[in-house]
Structure 1
Amino acid sequence: MQKNWAILLATSAALLAGCGGGGSNNSDSVQPAGQALAGYVGSWQADCDDHERESAVITLSPSGNGSIDIATTSNYYSGRDCSGALLATQTISAKISASPNGTVDTSVKLSANTAASTITVNKINSTLPQYQLSVTGPGVKYVTIANQQQWCIDFGNGSSTCIYDEGTQKAQTNTGGLYLRGNEMFVLGTTSTGFAFDTRYVRQ
């Protein structure tokens, strides 16, 4: 399954280096801070990913410095195509704050079935405050397996997935990228050579 967006933006670049894509960093430019990320404001929904569909609500930060605040939710359904009953909802107790850090033209492969193309990426600096995960719903059982507390979601027919409860997680900061194409938003992780695609969202 895809990474939760909050986890993606707070994960170190080294962990994302194997995701593929990337390209050289060139043609860096800076947009006015108040305008650079305004196009991403709104409600977004990711493609279904094996029972899971993530949504994100993006708002302008009240700080007035051009940053955006991102709240994410992941819903898990009985059907692998995200049809059927809603079994579980995963939330995170904090919002991501993303501030603009200019743009860069770089080559990124935006899907498995397309060639890499040069796009203009909005570079961001992301901050995730101290947070906790929570998973609730009629299909969730909270269990301890091998001394690890976790939420397990039963999809039926012997299929399930489990999410570790690791308690309160430390605040983290990192860099990443966003790309807007019509009503599509692409979340990009950083790699040792540039950026790599992780998740596509569609505006709702």
Structure 2
Amino acid sequence: MKKLLAVLAGSAAALLTGCGGGGGGSTQQIAGDSGSTSTLAAYVGTWQSACDNHDRQLLVIAFKNDGSGTLELTPTGETYFKADCSGPVVATDGMSTRITGKPDGTADMLIKLSDNAAATSLRVDKITSSVPAYTFLRAGGTVKYVLREGKQQWCVDVDNGESCMEDDGMHPALSVPAGLSLRGNELYTVMLDKGAYVLDMHYVKK
């Protein structure tokens, strides 16, 4: 059972899978090096994860329009008919509200970028990630809202079966420590998990 969970708004283990490995030998870029007056300006844009068995996650990052320097993060999940994420998107998953990321300084951290890799030193722009009470949504022309195993689910046909996501209703508001780091055109999101920062997701610039 797959479920789109909020990027930077829940535990790392609960996020939609699809983290990729780090690009070996690349030179790390610190966000403030972009020449912008804001140290977070280099993160603005659309980022995408690697394909993971029909699924790809997108993350759109922008600044709030209130001049505070706080980021707005909008995660969405795309489900493709084919397992290699080619062909049409048959379902789009999202949240009912945006996530905000309030700047909280920078720190050098040792982060494992893949399960079997040694920890890599990353310069991380820390943020406090917050989201009000929210629900998850799934849309698509062939998406069915059905009762399966006593639970309401959104299901859609794919080339080797069916992709379903449970509707768990309203989720409580959250506020958690998190962070962003750039290496070239690669974005790593990290989260505080059991007292230590760990890799959340890996994206490339779209």
2:185 corresponds to which letter in structure 1?
N
Instruction: Confirm or deny: 8 A CA contact 1:2 1:49 kept in the other structure.
Output: no
Question: How do 1:13-28 residues align onto structure 2 when only pairs under 5 Å count?
Answer: none
For the residues of structure 2 that align with 1:137 and 1:121, how far apart are their CA atoms?
36
Cα 1:8–1:43, aligned 2, differ >3 Å: closer, same or farther?
closer
TM-score (norm 2): 0.80
For the residues of structure 1 that align with 2:130 and 2:153, how far apart are their CA atoms?
25
Instruction: Confirm or deny: 8 A CA contact 1:125 1:174 kept in the other structure.
Output: yes
1:7 aligns with 2:6: yes
Instruction: Confirm or deny: 8 A CA contact 1:67 1:97 kept in the other structure.
Output: yes
DSSP-derived class of the 1:10 partner: coil
Q: Shift of residue 51 of structure 1?
A: 0.7
Counterpart of 1:109 in structure 2 is 112
Instruction: Confirm or deny: 8 A CA contact 2:106 2:124 kept in the other structure.
Output: yes
Instruction: Confirm or deny: 8 A CA contact 1:2 1:199 kept in the other structure.
Output: no
Structure 2: segments with no counterpart, 5+ residues? 16-31
Task: Compute the RMSD of aligned alpha carbons.
Answer: 2.5
For the residues of structure 1 that align with 2:47 and 2:13, how far apart are their CA atoms?
27
Q: Quick check: which one's helix share is greater?
A: 1
For the residues of structure 1 that align with 2:10 and 2:80, how far apart are their CA atoms?
26
More displaced, 73-82 or 111-120?
111-120
Q: Shift of residue 194 of structure 1?
A: 2.0
Counterpart of 1:201 in structure 2 is 203
Structure 1: segments with no counterpart, 5+ residues? 17-30
Counterpart of 1:161 in structure 2 is 163
Specify which of 87, 90, 96 is matched with residue 87 of structure 1: 90
For the residues of structure 1 that align with 2:6 and 2:91, how far apart are their CA atoms?
18
**Percentage identity across aligned positions?**
40
For the residues of structure 2 that align with 1:118 and 1:3, how far apart are their CA atoms?
30
For the residues of structure 1 that align with 2:134 and 2:12, how far apart are their CA atoms?
20
How many equivalent residue pairs? 187
Instruction: Confirm or deny: 8 A CA contact 2:12 2:199 kept in the other structure.
Output: no
Q: Shift of residue 85 of structure 1?
A: 2.4
Q: Deviations over 1:136-186 (max 9, x none)?
A: 1134211112321111122133x3232111222222111111111111111
For the residues of structure 1 that align with 2:12 and 2:91, how far apart are their CA atoms?
29
For the residues of structure 2 that align with 1:15 and 1:79, how far apart are their CA atoms?
24
Counterpart of 2:42 in structure 1 is 39
Instruction: Confirm or deny: 8 A CA contact 2:12 2:200 kept in the other structure.
Output: no
Q: Shift of residue 193 of structure 1?
A: 4.3
Q: Deviations over 1:29-51 (max 9, x none)?
A: xx9xx723221111111111111
Counterpart of 1:28 in structure 2 is none
For the residues of structure 2 that align with 1:96 and 1:130, how far apart are their CA atoms?
11
1:161 corresponds to which letter in structure 2?
S
Instruction: Confirm or deny: 8 A CA contact 1:151 1:163 kept in the other structure.
Output: yes
For the residues of structure 2 that align with 1:76 and 1:90, how far apart are their CA atoms?
8
1:50 corresponds to which letter in structure 2?
N
More displaced, 189-198 or 71-80?
189-198
Question: How do 1:116-131 residues align onto structure 2 when only pairs under 5 Å count?
Answer: 116-131=119-134
DSSP-derived class of the 2:38 partner: helix
